[in-house]
Amino acid sequence: MGTLKIEDLPWTQPAFAPLYSPRAFPVITRQRWQLMVVFETDKDFVESLLPEEVNAASDPPVAAVWCATHAHSTMGGPYREAGAGVTVRFRGELYFYPLVVYLGPNPEEWFAAGREVWGHQKKFGEVEILEPAGSGVVTGTLTRNGARLMQISVGPLEREAKPEEIGFLPVLSLRIIPHPEEPKPQCAELILTRAELVPRQGSDGRLEFWAGSGEIAYPVCSGRDPLHRLTPTRVLAGYYGCFENILTPFGKILKKLV
């Protein structure tokens, strides 16, 4: 007979040797270099992806795509990330709602915790940020299973970004746990994450964040990864810079959908 009592069960999987510890929270991340393009997009497509009570915050909706590198994290070390999301309103409050986040190469702790704790919609991919000397343009790419799904660029970098332009909204995400007996969610919840992001400042006091014109391309249209359906109708801005510190705490359940 097994002797593991219910009250002694581990917090997460695998029970034999959990992948990450609750003592890792809040998670500390250093030096997030981020490339982002903000744009208006199709309202019907965006609203088809949002749960009831969650609405696009504007008409047309404002979306963002990004590529980022992280020099260090207390949950698994350095990692890279790309993704897409939209600005939404839920119960009168503004949030950023991630549609999908791609991690690479192989940051299994962030991948598992992102899906299991915060409900972030994570998959694996290959992410790069390139800043060729003399070009004045910074480029980010996302490749998955050999297919270049997204390429974004910002530049020339024309001005220092304002703090209010790069301040992150609280994140609202959809956490789904599949049912083991049939193809439907056993649990679905809206999760709030309030991360603290501190932009890097140079010795002259200026933010190490810049703004310029942005461009987006989706070289491969994939039904399995339909980023191309987040079509830019008008590009609003592009940004490139560094968050020196990020503190990511536990999430909070705002609503149980299932």
Please list the pLDDT of the chain residue by residue as tens digits (258 residues). 889 898 888 889 898 999 999 999 999 999 999 999 999 999 999 999 999 999 999 999 999 999 999 999 999 899 999 999 999 999 999 999 999 999 988 899 999 999 999 999 999 999 999 998 878 899 999 999 999 999 999 999 999 998 888 888 999 999 999 999 999 999 999 999 999 999 999 899 899 999 999 999 999 999 999 999 999 999 999 999 999 999 999 999 999 999
What is the spatial distance between Cα 194 and Cα 95, in angstroms, rounded to a whole number? Answer: 10
Please report the pLDDT score of residue 147 as a whole number. Answer: 96
Would you tell me how many other CB atoms lie within 10 Å of the CB of residue 19? 16
Q: Cβ(227)–Cβ(8) under 8 Å?
A: no
What is the spatial distance between Cα 20 and Cα 210, in angstroms, rounded to a whole number? Answer: 35
Please report the pLDDT score of residue 136 as a whole number. Answer: 85
- What does the block give as tokens for 211? 């703004």
Q: DSSP per residue over 214-247, as a string?
A: EEEE-SS--SSS-GGGS--SEEEEEEEEEEEEEE
Would you tell me how many other CB atoms lie within 10 Å of the CB of residue 5? 7
Please report the pLDDT score of residue 52 as a whole number. Answer: 93
Does CATH place domain 26-163+198-250 in 3.50.50.60? no
- Comparing CA positions, the residue from 141, 118, 197 lying closest to residue 165 is 197
Q: What is the maximum alpha-carbon separation in the chain?
A: 69
Please report the pLDDT score of residue 117 as a whole number. Answer: 95
- Comparing CA positions, the residue from 138, 80, 141 lying closest to residue 105 is 80
Q: Cβ(119)–Cβ(82) under 8 Å?
A: no
What is the spatial distance between Cα 208 and Cα 197, in angstroms, rounded to a whole number? Answer: 13
Every domain of the chain and the residues it spans: 26-163+198-250
